[in-house]
Amino acid sequence: MKFSKILERINLKHNFSAFKDFDVKGLAYDSRKVKPGYIFFAIKGLKDDGNKYADDAIKYGAKIIFSEEDVKTEFPIKVFKVDRIRKFMATVSGVFYEDPSAKLKLIGVTGTNGKTTTTYLIRSFLQEAGYKVGLIGTIDYQTGNMKMDSTLTTPESIEMNMMLREMVNSKMDFCVMEVSSIALEMDRVYGLNFDSAIFTNLTSEHLDFHNDMSNYFEAKKILFDNLKSTTHAIANKDDEYGEKILKDTLAKKFFYSMKNDSDLKAFNEKLTLNGLEFYVKYKDNNYKLTSNLTGRFNIYNILSSVSALLNYNIDMNSIQKSLLNFHEVSGRFNRIKLPNGAIAVIDYSHTSDSLKNAVESAREIVNEEKSKGKVITIFGCGGNKDRTKRPVMGDYATRLSDHSIITSDNPRFEDPMEIITEILSGVKTKNKFEVIENREEAIKKGIELSKEGDIVLICGKGHETYQEVNGVKNHFNDKEMVNKYSSLAK
């Protein structure tokens, strides 16, 4: 694509009349990825400043550079200054990749918890209905013939538009994606044409970035405030932010719930270790839904996904059948039966609310099974992340579990014991917990403590296959640890 063609589609105050036109071969914000004929966007990130690498970008072949700052280079290539470089990059990306989000139906899912399972549910339902569906989220990116591990829950705008273009080229009908608050705040999804947007819930998370819940909420709200009147906005009415987040949207509103009256309401829930069943009321009719998933939080995930499907004329009878074929997502309340009759559960719950939901669900299942089993919870908190949740998680885990083992998660560049000390500051019980810093030893001890009917709930890492210590990712997999020590469950 000619640079002049891009200029025709974007609004720039600069005069490029003396600038020699060229074929744009690609876009980059990382100078190491620049090739001849590229446009380079010098972005100041959370960890590094792209403006420092303008000369490197030129050496690698950048034809033009944009920045928010006045940048001088060693070469006779001018750096053009623009406002809001990330928004500008998103705009150029959309033009360069020929507006791919407008050529398929894009469904965005945002909220603190439940995004991953909800996106996988929607994708599965749509595929069962005969559609081709791409996926972008925390675990992986699936764009058709390509599948790759995720690096960011919501990629930067260049990668985002590139993947959407691949989906269009692969004749995809839909893309279902997780939309993080940080991505919304940093304009990674700016300019995308969402056909539906879903809000799951909002609890304390990412406050190291957003500072407070008000800013966190406003970041999430961006997704809904930018929807068009022809689109759909779906929200959890039981969440205190559910109605507020749709207050200013132009989209058609749809609410789901288990407690409050809504467009799609669940009732008569039954949870067991093997799955769950419940009824939903929709347009004065009642339907029974049965799932291999378990945990009360998964009812909300199912409700949010069903709410999206109803907007695409997929009937409840088809949904009922499709749900039976859906199995748990990697690292999301995955159950492993131990030789002694106990169950190990591996779950990604790494926020205060998701941990609370996981422990309460385990307790509810144990009570429903009437096994007189215990809930043994193993958890830690990540380093260099929101510290406000640490004492809250310590309180929830130790108060709601029969026994807790506080351990290390991904300490990153923090001292694991200092993280554990902050967790302990919220603990109010005395005899229901122990500290084992080494995560492998903690999982081993939890399995050794288990008896028939118990649930050993291992939280925090879920699908992750590493533990990050001092910036180094070492192989570590909770599921592998359970299998390694399962013979100790006697």
Domain 3-96: give its CATH architecture. Answer: 3-Layer(aba) Sandwich (3.40)
Strands 466-469 and 433-435: unpaired
Q: How far apart are CA 303 and CA 278, in angstroms?
A: 11
Is residue 272 within 8 Å of residue 368, measured between CB atoms? yes
Domain at 100-324, CATH homologous superfamily: Mur-like, catalytic domain (3.40.1190.10)
Q: Are 433 and 406 in contact (CB under 8 A)?
A: yes
Domain boundaries, the chain: 3-96, 100-324, 334-488
Q: In what order do the strands lie in the sheet with 62-67?
A: 26-28, 38-42, 62-67, 79-81
Tell me if domain 100-324 and domain 334-488 are identical in fold: no
Print pLDDT tens along the chain (490 aa).
Answer: 999 999 989 988 787 877 889 999 999 999 999 999 999 999 988 778 999 999 999 999 999 999 999 888 888 787 899 999 999 999 999 999 999 999 999 999 999 999 999 999 999 999 999 999 999 998 889 887 777 777 778 899 999 999 999 999 999 999 999 999 999 999 999 999 999 999 999 986 666 666 788 999 999 999 999 999 999 999 999 999 999 999 999 999 999 999 999 999 999 999 998 999 999 999 999 999 999 999 999 999 999 999 999 999 898 999 999 999 999 899 999 999 999 999 999 999 999 989 999 999 999 999 988 778 999 999 999 998 889 999 999 999 999 999 999 999 999 999 999 999 999 999 999 889 999 999 999 999 999 999 999 999 999 999 999 999 998 999 999 999 999 999 999 8
Tell me the whole-structure pTM to 2 decimals. Answer: 0.91
In whole angstroms, give the CA distance from residue 152 to residue 188: 11
Tell me which fold the domain 334-488 belongs to: Protein-Tyrosine Phosphatase; Chain A (3.90.190)
Tokens of 230: 């022809």
